[in-house]
Amino acid sequence: MTRTGSFPIGFRRGWSDWQKKSIKELAQWARSSGFALLDLMNVSIQDLKSVRDAGLDVGSIDLLDFGRIIADDPAARKELIARNIEYVRRLAPAGAKVFFTCIIPADPAKTRAQNYALAVECFAPIAHACAEHGAWLVVEGWPGGAPYLANLCCTPETVRAFLKDVGRGAGINYDPSHLIRLGVDHIRFLREFAPHVKHVHAKDTDLDAEALYEYGTQGAAFAKPHGFGEWTWRYTIPGHGVARWGEIFRILQSAGYKGGVCVELEDENFNGSEAGEKAALLHSLDFLRGV
């Protein structure tokens, strides 16, 4: 658990071979290493059972095909909404209480207002299904890649509107790394939206002031960007960036947050090998326990 707030610590299941191979083996390693919960991608009821049989709780699970829900084709949107409502209705009674998504438009060239209207149309029915089954739809503010940065609910403007327009069942997956990358004050954001936070990702961002001087916000002509980042910033494990974790946990504690804190491992210094990724997760666990 974290020192401040006593929040259980877990991690998000990644895409590397050792994490994908067997959910049972991954859960057993997580438990033996001291983690308390796992975030999962698309799962079955048996997957939830495997995690619990290992002595862990389930943090969040991903919506189905969430990158395609805001489709251009109305029939495709309707089909994906229906599939996800059924997914919630099937898995929430089995113990899945936090359903994770990002708001990713199919057509990033549309105006943000146009894509926002589609986002509300698509995600409101899913959020309401979550509410009916004692669960939450949590939105993470991953902005997407350059040049569009078209994803929504990444900044206060659209988060505020989404929570109001969608209403019941809608919550936030708080991840300070994306806010820092975008230049949004991650502490001020949390102070405003803490009552709506239903899950937390522990990921950090390192900012390179020298690179910002060299390239500005345009990007470089000759240098390569960072893995899990660009030229002037990169995602890191918690404690290797500029996020103020002590203040984050104090705000969450004051707001009565009852969920977990799950490491989302995206760090060029560790990703790419089983040994490196396990070291990163264990280092993150030790860091968060001391905050």
- What pLDDT score does 88 carry? 98
**Percent of the chain topping pLDDT 90:** 98
Sign for the CA dihedral angle at 175, 176, 181, 185 comes to positive
Task: Assess whether pLDDT exceeds 90 at residue 22.
Answer: yes
Helix (H, G, I), strand (E, B) or coil at 217: coil
Residue 147 has pLDDT above 90, yes or no: no
Distances (CA, A) of 248 to 27, 168, 257, 273: 27, 25, 11, 30
Q: Is 197 exposed, middle or buried (0-12, 13-18, 19+ CB in 10 A)?
A: buried
Q: What is the pLDDT of residue 145?
A: 84
For 235-275, how does the pLDDT look when each residue is reduced to its tens digit (9 = 90+)? Answer: 999 999 999 999 999 999 999 999 999 999 999 999 999 99
Domain architecture of the chain: domains with CATH: 9-289 (3.20.20.150)
Whether the model pTM is above 0.85: yes
pLDDT of residue 197: 99
Q: What is the pLDDT of residue 278?
A: 99
pLDDT band at 146 (very low <50, low <70, confident <90, very high): confident
pLDDT in tens, 175-188: 999 999 999 999 99
Q: Hey, is 139 helix, strand or coil?
A: strand
Q: What is the DSSP letter of 282?
A: H
Enter the tokens of residue 83: 């599939």
Indicate if the alpha-carbon torsion angle 175, 180, 181, 184 is positive or negative: positive
Average pLDDT over every residue of 40-69: 97
Quick: pLDDT tens for 189-213: 999 999 999 999 999 999 999 999 9
Distance CA 266, CA 79 (A): 32
Residue 244 sits at φ, ψ, to 5 deg, of: -100, 85
Percentage of the chain modeled with pLDDT above 70: 100
In whole angstroms, how far apart are CA 165 and each of 118, 160, 169, 212?
12, 9, 11, 37
